[in-house]
Structure 1
Amino acid sequence: MPRRSATMLASTLLLIALFCAAVLIKVPYSEMSPGPTYNTLGTQNGKQVITISGRKTYPTSGNLNMTTVEVTSADYTLNLVEAVTGWLRHDQAVIPHSNLYPDNQTEKQAEAQNAEEFSASQDSAKAAALTQLGIPVGTEVVVSAVVEGSPSVGKLHAGDVVVAVDGTKVTDPDQVATQVTKHQPGQDVVFTVIPPGKTSSDLQQVTITTAKNPDTGKAMVGIQPGTEHTFPFAIDINLGDVGGPSAGLMFSLGIVDKLQSTDLTGGKFIAGTGTIDADGTVGPIGGISMKIIAARNAGAQYFFTPSSNCSEAAADTPSGLRLIKVDKLSQAVQDLADIRSGDLSALPACSK
């Protein structure tokens, strides 16, 4: 074989070997890409995303789209070829695996956390929207989570409304621990609860034998009490296969739009993202660069961007998409009024 041919063959075999090695070499990175967007004013799988009963609603137009990202699963790590390809692509982001799944979180644990955050986000979104409209909102104490292996497993459940402990009415989560720790470990404590989806006519008495808290030595039952809001009419958000807290702002805007006579969008296509607190404060989210791509691909003209995410979003904004910096729900409602009036100079812009 001629020397040149031998050299070329050796080089080719070396390249093939290197490529195979790169495919086999795993790197501690995951991939993020633009996910689907959902119009909070529209339907999904034949159902309205937001349904309201017991209160007059009004027609809406246009779009108020929440945005999502797609990520590789917890049990999948990229190989070197996939990581390099992702770094080179505009519509993908390669990030450390631990950023998405801290503390070696499993896929099941990640899904449970996302579902919990999504549920809490819906609760805050409803409260923020009604507060924006001047509609009174109440609160109740609930079981946020049951600790695995604790005395409450199988007796209390996430979502149970805690009405009283040992006959004493509770209106704050801290009161639950106060009542439980009046007991000695091994003594019984009685919870009065309303199971999820039930009403006050379905009160249940649940007796739990306390255990010893290994950290404090005091009595414990093994639940995490929290607070949820109560509303004067039913608001349901029907959106499966979505998790995390980042849709809060857009859910709030969708609820506001349906409950007031003013058509918020004026027929425009607005998308956005951001967590929301019950007082209407908008917070930062992850994956902003992928979400603005998803929004523009869907046809959005404007994008509500949490102020903390503004510089990252402004660094590479898709052509034809206008970023609107937002900190409060009330501000977003005013921004929509400016869009309807055509006064775009009043919109707060994101800067790099």
Structure 2
Amino acid sequence: MRRNGRLLLFSIILIIVLFANFYPLPYYVSRPGLAKVLDEFIEVESGYENDGKFMLTTIRIGKANVLTYLITKVNKYYQLEPLTAIRLENETDEEYTVRQLYYMENSQENAIQVAFEKADKEIEVHMNGIYILSVMEDSPADGILQPGDRITAIDGNSFDTAKGFTDYIQSKEAGDKIEVTIHRKEQVLTETITLQLLDEIGKTGIGITLVEDKEIKSDPKVNINTDEIGGPSAGLMFSLEIYNQLVEADISKGYIIAGTGTISPEGKVGPIGGIDQKVVAADKEGAEIFFAPNENGKKGSNYEVAVETAKDIGTDMIIVPVDDFDDAIEFLQSLEEK
């Protein structure tokens, strides 16, 4: 009997553990991720080697289960997020992945552009067309176009901007047909789509969410390998690492420097989500300096949250506010060699 009782107890515990780990809840849980040394991912051909290190920081996001839900109640850096905070309305898994990979690709291109221009190196910027992030259900494009397609021409006309594309579409009438040339993986396809009036925008369209697709050609060439990371938040740190390999002087001056923030082609640094969790991740990896988006000093900025987090976890890491690439460079120039 005792043996049967122990077996029953073990079975009950096993069922509870499996339920806690695998029963999905309608939430996501975000938590501190990793701080990764960027020279392991980025190589400027014939670039300079440096003693210091720049690191990108990440957060981990996964669908909530009972166990991770309970952890959010006792660990402030495990945070419960509603589905709408992570996904766009009606966004599929495929569309979410495409969107995150595009943001990462775009942040890399912007970072290269900023770093080369600041280092007085020449680059070429080529517009490749329009990149599709998502396709509206039951729209004219549904079943014809896919997230990740690149539109290179409409009726044989190419466009340098997303505005040029939308202006051309909206100059036509509902019921008109257009020929769309797309690049899908290794294929070049031409599809015919009938335009219709879209209630969501009150204008003629085909029902896609789009962004501009550009390509940066640089000399020397920059190789970036971040296949497992998505999103735009590493832009600032990408630009600093690329710049450091382009110029002779080591701007890191021997320090371990982490940070976060989007980067625009003009070098402006934008805010990101999960700044507190990224501060925790950077501290665990031994970062000495952390760059945080300042958002022009607004109340509740990424920088303010980062400072509060640093105090809360008792780190000696210096939190530095940045509004643009030049702010980061000016701070680094003020440092003494380690």
Picking from 215, 231, 255, the partner of 1:230 is 215
What secondary structure, in the 3-state scheme, does the structure 2 residue paired with 1:130 have?
helix
In 2, Cα distance between the equivalents of 1:240 and 1:26? 27
CA drift of 1:116 comes to 3.0
Mean Cα displacement is larger for which, 206-215 or 26-35?
A: 26-35
1:97 matched to 2:107? The reply is: no
Give the residue type in structure 1 aligned to 2:308.
A
Picking from 60, 64, 67, the partner of 1:70 is 60
1:210-229 per-position Cα deviation (integer Å, ceiling 9, x unaligned): 23133378653444443244
Consecutive unaligned residues of structure 2, counting only runs of 5 or more, are 1-15, 295-300
Sort the Cα spacing of 1:244 and 1:225 in 2 relative to 1 into closer, same or farther, 3 A: closer
What secondary structure, in the 3-state scheme, does the structure 2 residue paired with 1:41 have?
helix
Preserved CA contact (<8 Å) 1:161 1:196: no
What secondary structure, in the 3-state scheme, does the structure 2 residue paired with 1:236 have?
strand
Mean Cα displacement is larger for which, 330-339 or 223-232?
A: 223-232
Equivalence for 1:147: 135
Select the structure of larger CA radius of gyration.
1
Q: For the aligned residues, what is the CA RMSD? A: 3.6
Mean Cα displacement is larger for which, 295-304 or 184-193?
A: 184-193
Taking only the aligned residue pairs, the percentage that are identical comes to 25
Equivalence for 2:239: 252
What secondary structure, in the 3-state scheme, does the structure 2 residue paired with 1:231 have?
strand
What secondary structure, in the 3-state scheme, does the structure 1 residue paired with 2:217 have?
coil
Sort the Cα spacing of 1:229 and 1:116 in 2 relative to 1 into closer, same or farther, 3 A: closer
What secondary structure, in the 3-state scheme, does the structure 2 residue paired with 1:252 have?
helix
Sort the Cα spacing of 1:150 and 1:116 in 2 relative to 1 into closer, same or farther, 3 A: farther
TM-score calculated relative to the size of structure 2: 0.74
Preserved CA contact (<8 Å) 1:58 1:261: yes
Picking from 172, 177, 180, the partner of 2:169 is 180
In 1, Cα distance between the equivalents of 2:190 and 2:142? 9
Picking from 245, 248, 262, the partner of 1:275 is 262
1:132 matched to 2:118? The reply is: yes
1:189 matched to 2:178? The reply is: yes
In 1, Cα distance between the equivalents of 2:69 and 2:251? 42
Sort the Cα spacing of 1:130 and 1:313 in 2 relative to 1 into closer, same or farther, 3 A: same
Mean Cα displacement is larger for which, 57-66 or 221-230?
A: 221-230
1:19-38 per-position Cα deviation (integer Å, ceiling 9, x unaligned): x9xx7999876433221221
Equivalence for 2:150: 160
Sort the Cα spacing of 1:183 and 1:277 in 2 relative to 1 into closer, same or farther, 3 A: same
Task: Report matched runs for 1:284-323 at 5 Å.
Answer: 284-307=271-294, 308-317=301-310, 318-323=314-319
Sort the Cα spacing of 1:29 and 1:39 in 2 relative to 1 into closer, same or farther, 3 A: same
In 1, Cα distance between the equivalents of 2:245 and 2:91? 38
1:215-257 per-position Cα deviation (integer Å, ceiling 9, x unaligned): 3786534444432443232433211221222111111111111
In 1, Cα distance between the equivalents of 2:193 and 2:24? 48
Preserved CA contact (<8 Å) 2:52 2:254: yes
In 1, Cα distance between the equivalents of 2:94 and 2:210? 22
In 2, Cα distance between the equivalents of 1:29 and 1:122? 30
Which protein is richer in strand relative to its size?
A: 2
Picking from 313, 333, 337, the partner of 1:337 is 333
Sort the Cα spacing of 1:103 and 1:154 in 2 relative to 1 into closer, same or farther, 3 A: closer
What secondary structure, in the 3-state scheme, does the structure 2 residue paired with 1:95 have?
strand
CA drift of 1:108 comes to 5.2
In 2, Cα distance between the equivalents of 1:329 and 1:212? 44
Sort the Cα spacing of 1:235 and 1:88 in 2 relative to 1 into closer, same or farther, 3 A: same
Preserved CA contact (<8 Å) 1:283 1:306: yes
In 1, Cα distance between the equivalents of 2:276 and 2:86? 15
Preserved CA contact (<8 Å) 1:143 1:224: no
What secondary structure, in the 3-state scheme, does the structure 2 residue paired with 1:244 have?
coil
1:51 matched to 2:38? The reply is: no
Question: Aligned residue pairs: how many?
Answer: 304
What secondary structure, in the 3-state scheme, does the structure 2 residue paired with 1:232 have?
strand
CA drift of 1:130 comes to 2.5
Equivalence for 1:211: 195
1:58-80 per-position Cα deviation (integer Å, ceiling 9, x unaligned): 2233210000111232xx3446x
1:183-204 per-position Cα deviation (integer Å, ceiling 9, x unaligned): 44444434456x3788xxx9x6
In 2, Cα distance between the equivalents of 1:239 and 1:187? 42
Equivalence for 1:33: 31
1:171 matched to 2:144? The reply is: no
Preserved CA contact (<8 Å) 1:125 1:248: yes
Picking from 46, 51, 58, the partner of 1:61 is 51
Give the residue type in structure 2 aligned to 1:232.
K
Sort the Cα spacing of 1:155 and 1:29 in 2 relative to 1 into closer, same or farther, 3 A: closer
In 2, Cα distance between the equivalents of 1:102 and 1:244? 14
